[in-house]
Structure 1
Amino acid sequence: MLSNTDQPLSGEKIAQNLKISRAAVWKIIQKLQATGYQIESQHRLGYIYHDNSKLNQYIIKKNLTAQLSQQLGFEIHQTIDSTNIRAKQLSFKKHLHPLVIISDQQTAGYGRYGRYYSSPSGNIYLSLLLPNPSHQLVPGLLTTATALAVSLSIEKKLAVQPQIKWVNDLLLNQKKIVGILTEAITNIETRSIDQVVIGIGINYLTQLDQLPPEIQARAGSLRKFALAAKVTRNQFIAAVLNQFFQIYQTYQTGNFLPAYRQRCYLLHKEVTIQQGQQKIAGLATDIDQQGCIVLSNGQHISSGEVTKIRLK
């Protein structure tokens, strides 16, 4: 009730709506305040809620498009092992609509190749569990579409333009601020991809000294820009979801790729790509219509990790 209005609500009105006593309302307010919700008591007016970036699905939904607000399901955690793990657990039940799993922190967050992903409180750890009715998947396009959606959200809401490092990282001043991990849920009987999990980790309010020392040198943060723009985590999460689902509707056409190419800072640079045990080196000349990186020797590489970048 408090999240869905910008006006103070009297204790009496809340009590009437919930059919409880005003004393019970006061006790509930105290519990909410104790868990971090910023609820102010205004004399003779009632209670008013201030979005202080504590995760709140009602604030997120209020900032979504009307259609998305109705379609998306939410699961919010304060602490979880991994939002991607939770999404895969939930995938055992077929879902007709996308689910959004968000946590304030993770105890076992992971990135590509199962690498540990440091996940302190205050950032955005979000996983999307998407039904895949076509049973086909172009992972290169889905990951690049997600990267572009997050990049556009940062540009529009925080007035700063990150760079995209093919295929799944966003950088600001050469420091990583976003990681993306796409995983497929396969139906063993039909050997088709029934559902998809997209994990997005954003260093949103990170104070870099909270990160392990070995990560601090290469990690960045959006904290300065988020605080300057006065955009809370809930508002930014909604912006990312709005942007992602706008692109997602037609992502398989690749019509978003020109905007992705403009932001991909690997193009026209010498790169080394680790693909399993193999290292591939060459000049990156393009991103093709499947989201693959194209080298000057004609190779199209659909997956891998760029380990070195050199100016031509």
Structure 2
Amino acid sequence: MSTKQQVLTLLRHSGAIFSGEKLAQEIGVSRTAIWKAVRELEKMGYIIQRHANGYQYLPSDVLENTAIAQTHLPSEHIFLMDETESTMKVAKLAALNQQEAPALYIAETQTGGHGRFGRPFFSPKGQIYMSLLLNPNQSFEELPQYTLLAAVAVSLAIDEVTGRKTDIKWVNDIYLDGKKICGILSEATSDFEAGRISHVILGMGINFSIPPETFPDGLEKKASSLFPDGKPTVSRNQLIQLIWQNFFELLDGLPDNSYLKVYREKSFVLGKTVSFVQQGVTYSGIAKEISDTGELLVETSIGLKNLSSGEISLQTIG
């Protein structure tokens, strides 16, 4: 364990004030080494309060793989990045390099994040941008409804940590108080010869704590964050850990599809008038049902339309 990690462990676990001399004695290094370690921790985002008689750790929201790890997702399979173009791209490259799955890729910020249909994703620093790499090795027909499972896992996790109720916009957006706070993207790659899905990547962007005035013009009317006042009641580590804990528990519970009941109950689309474009033609109708395979069934003037998430984007909901 590095000097930096030892200093962090001692300060965090005790919560007490440690003098530089005492830290040096405990770890067996010089006081200069302690000073350098504290400086490095501060650069990483940890809050170390300096007192006349030493240093004290204060709660700090720094991403840590050990704090996110769980049974299905060991810390050595969690990769943290300060900046990347897109965690989805990183996960795709990892799949090509035969990375053992599941593996999770998390970035502090993205320079080229995107959602469905290549739409750009506003990605300021300090939020949650992550992609999970899975290796299902199943046929397309055998695949679980990963996007729906992920949406339920995220929605329930946010409900738990905030004490508020989130809604799901078919198929992959999470809303809080009528504004979008999370987008989910799923992509799959196949082994053509074997007829199997070799990899699935689930990407998520969660607005954790963004002041409303910092959103691009017009976006603040549509989007928000979990803690817009800048005072989170939980850490990002805690939320991320809970999301994937929920996800893998739901996955382990299959073929029990009780998650679909939760998904449908949280949908704010069902029963409402929606409009959509299909093969260049605009339709309007009442959203009637979400099928067990994730399709949205809409009653239009010309009959029932089955909408697939891979090809349809809802235009309006009223």
TM range (shorter): 0.7 to 0.9
Number of equivalent positions: 304
**Structure 2 residue aligned with 1:98:** 102
Question: Which amino acid is the alignment partner of residue 266 of structure 2?
Answer: R
Once structures 1 and 2 are overlaid, which stretch shifts more, 238-247 or 273-282? 273-282
Shift in alpha-carbon separation, 1:106–1:71, aligned structure 2, 3 A = closer
**Structure 1 residue aligned with 2:247:** 244
- Asked if residue 196 in structure 1 is aligned to residue 200 in structure 2, the reply is yes
Matches within 5 A, 1:107-126: 107-126=111-130
State the Cα distance separating 1:145 from its structure 2 match: 1.1
Once structures 1 and 2 are overlaid, which stretch shifts more, 140-149 or 259-268? 140-149
Give me the identity figure in percent.
Answer: 32
Once structures 1 and 2 are overlaid, which stretch shifts more, 245-254 or 2-11? 2-11
Structure 2 distance, partners of 1:80, 1:3, is: 28
- 1:170-209 Cα offsets, whole Å, 9 max, x none, are 1122211110000112234434211111011111111222
- Asked if residue 302 in structure 1 is aligned to residue 308 in structure 2, the reply is yes
Shift in alpha-carbon separation, 1:133–1:178, aligned structure 2, 3 A = same
State the Cα distance separating 1:262 from its structure 2 match: 0.5
State the Cα distance separating 1:50 from its structure 2 match: 3.4
SS in 2 for 1:205: coil
SS in 2 for 1:117: coil
Structure 1 distance, partners of 2:99, 2:187, is: 16
- Asked if residue 271 in structure 1 is aligned to residue 280 in structure 2, the reply is no
- 1:255-284 Cα offsets, whole Å, 9 max, x none, are 310011110011111211234534343211
Question: Which amino acid is the alignment partner of residue 242 of structure 2?
Answer: A
Shift in alpha-carbon separation, 1:288–1:248, aligned structure 2, 3 A = same
Structure 2 distance, partners of 1:280, 1:168, is: 21
**Structure 1 residue aligned with 2:167:** 163
Structure 2 distance, partners of 1:60, 1:12, is: 32
Question: Which amino acid is the alignment partner of residue 165 of structure 1?
Answer: K
- Asked if residue 7 in structure 1 is aligned to residue 10 in structure 2, the reply is no
Matches within 5 A, 1:1-312: 1=5, 2=8, 6-8=13-15, 20-40=29-49, 48-61=56-69, 65=70, 67-68=71-72, 70=74, 73-136=77-140, 141-224=145-228, 227=231, 230-251=233-254, 253-275=256-278, 277-296=280-299, 297-303=303-309, 304-310=312-318
Structure 1 distance, partners of 2:145, 2:179, is: 24
**8 A contact 1:178–1:203 mirrored in 2:** yes
Structure 2 distance, partners of 1:49, 1:59, is: 17
Question: Which amino acid is the alignment partner of residue 307 of structure 2?
Answer: I
State the Cα distance separating 1:91 from its structure 2 match: 0.8
Output the TM-score relative to the length of structure 2.
0.84
Q: Which has the larger radius of gyration?
A: 2
Shift in alpha-carbon separation, 1:143–1:137, aligned structure 2, 3 A = farther
**8 A contact 1:163–1:265 mirrored in 2:** yes
Structure 2 distance, partners of 1:252, 1:306, is: 29
Once structures 1 and 2 are overlaid, which stretch shifts more, 124-133 or 246-255? 246-255
Question: Which amino acid is the alignment partner of residue 107 of structure 1?
Answer: T
State the Cα distance separating 1:149 from its structure 2 match: 0.7
**Mind listing any 5+ residue stretches in structure 2 that lack a counterpart?**
none
Shift in alpha-carbon separation, 1:309–1:6, aligned structure 2, 3 A = same
Question: Which amino acid is the alignment partner of residue 141 of structure 1?
Answer: Q
CA RMSD of aligned residues (A): 2.8
Shift in alpha-carbon separation, 1:41–1:154, aligned structure 2, 3 A = same
Question: Which amino acid is the alignment partner of residue 13 of structure 2?
Answer: D
**8 A contact 1:72–1:98 mirrored in 2:** no
Shift in alpha-carbon separation, 1:275–1:153, aligned structure 2, 3 A = farther
Structure 2 distance, partners of 1:50, 1:107, is: 30
SS in 2 for 1:256: helix
Shift in alpha-carbon separation, 1:283–1:162, aligned structure 2, 3 A = same
State the Cα distance separating 1:217 from its structure 2 match: 2.1
Output the TM-score relative to the length of structure 1.
0.86
SS in 1 for 2:99: coil
State the Cα distance separating 1:8 from its structure 2 match: 4.8
Structure 2 distance, partners of 1:123, 1:187, is: 34
SS in 2 for 1:59: helix
Structure 2 distance, partners of 1:3, 1:291, is: 45
Once structures 1 and 2 are overlaid, which stretch shifts more, 156-165 or 189-198? 189-198
